[in-house]
Amino acid sequence: MDSILPAYDDPLFSILVIITLILIVAVSSFVMGNIKEKNRRKTLKDFLQGFNQEERQLEIEEMPFEPTLVKPLSLLAQAFKNQGEYQKSINLNLYLINNISNFFEKEKILEELGETYLKAGFLKRSESIFLEILHKHPRNIKALYRLGVVYELLHQYDKALETIIPLKILKKRTESFEAHIKLIQLLQNKKITTNQKVERLQQLLKLEHYAYRPIMKALFSLDLKVAWSNIQTDKIHFILDILWFLPSSNLNLDIISTNKILSAIYIAKGVIEPTTTIPKSNIFAIDTIISAKKGGNNSVDLLFNYGCSKCKQHFPIGFIRCPKCYAIDSIQIMETVAKKESQTGYSLL
């Protein structure tokens, strides 16, 4: 052995051994990395094969792919999504995803695909896409937020709460989402009594991240007395439509008569008679109706529509989570004076 190998104490031999080891490690990492990437691509391709090849009707599948197509086709897919043409948007995204090999280059397109499935109501597919993104890139914040929405819509609230853990680690704000999901869980809990729910709701009103409107809406349907006693004057505008549409039998005249804004609302509605000094609500539409009534015009009413403070879209019906941008607690109540229709007085509860 001594005749084949140089002496172990030869420094040149030791250096040679170290260099050989480094080379072996470098070559094996390179080979392993390539195999991993190849497997990753294969897994994603197999995964996407599961999504409705037969529904791909945009006739772009056979189109030769060019990297310069990525941007215009991504924009086109977004335009289709915004117009509600979800299938066309999905087809374009699938075409791009199938033709781009690098995960990080197609991550944004996968996010778009997941969001389009979410908007189109394909919740399980949306879940699969976001899970696939997170499998490759666990710190993708958008995918984590959207996965939370998907689980909420699937009524899988515990899973929705699980998405908060990584978001917290990533130092993202999750308080409102957590409060929102916990409130839904409370309202849907059939194992606790109405009294327990009412008690808990009153406690939640005192907590910072729990929204006033959904809690008051729940209280008005569970316990009128408690609901009326929890009206906060500075937050009346958040529940103006709920108050306006309450049936007369659900009103608490004792509380209304002691509050200027509430009195003005129900004078405007014509439920209570105006006193000699008519209260001012500082809600323009309410004060306008009262002035019109004073002038003898009783055929005016309030019309409501709802805006989102985040995406600025308007909707004819109220929401807890914006249907367009999925923001929570972003609802803005917008009231306008309108001519009274024959049928009025339905409840929002």
Shorter beta-carbon distance to Zn ion: residue 32 or 311: 311
Q: How far is the CB of 171 from Zn ion (least distance, A)?
A: 24
Torsional class of 16: left (φ above 0), alpha (ψ -120 to 50), beta (otherwise)? alpha
Among 121, 282, 325, 345, binds Zn ion (CB under 5 A): 325
The verdict on 314 binding Zn ion (CB under 5 A) reads no
From the list 168-176, 204-212, 272-280, 323-331, the region that binds Zn ion by CB under 5 A is: 323-331
Alpha helices in 189-314 (DSSP H): 194-205, 212-222, 224-229, 240-244, 253-257, 260-269, 284-294
Structure tokens at 73: 């086709």
From the list 9-17, 152-160, 166-174, 320-328, the region that binds Zn ion by CB under 5 A is: 320-328
Q: How far is the CB of 318 from Zn ion (least distance, A)?
A: 13
Q: Which residues contact 62 (CB under 8 A, 6 or more apart)?
A: none
Q: How far is the CB of 329 from Zn ion (least distance, A)?
A: 11
Site for Zn ion in 292-311 (CB under 5 A): 308, 310-311
Q: How far is the CB of 84 from Zn ion (least distance, A)?
A: 16
Between the two ends of the chain, the Cα-to-Cα distance in Å is 92
The verdict on 324 binding Zn ion (CB under 5 A) reads yes
Residue whose C-alpha is closest to residue 230's, from 249, 203, 250: 203
Shorter beta-carbon distance to Zn ion: residue 260 or 310: 310
The verdict on 119 binding Zn ion (CB under 5 A) reads no
Q: How far is the CB of 177 from Zn ion (least distance, A)?
A: 15
92 and 110 Cβ atoms separated by less than 8 Å: no
Shorter beta-carbon distance to Zn ion: residue 120 or 255: 120
Amino acid at 57: Q
Beta strands, E only, the chain: 300-308, 314-315, 331-339
> What is the residue whose two structure tokens read 């009294």?
195
From the list 80-88, 114-122, 281-289, 314-322, the region that binds Zn ion by CB under 5 A is: 314-322
Residue 302 three-state SS: strand
Give the whole-angstrom CA distance, residue 262 versus residue 327: 29
Which residues of this protein are in contact with Zn ion, per CB under 5 A?
308, 310-311, 322, 324-325, 327
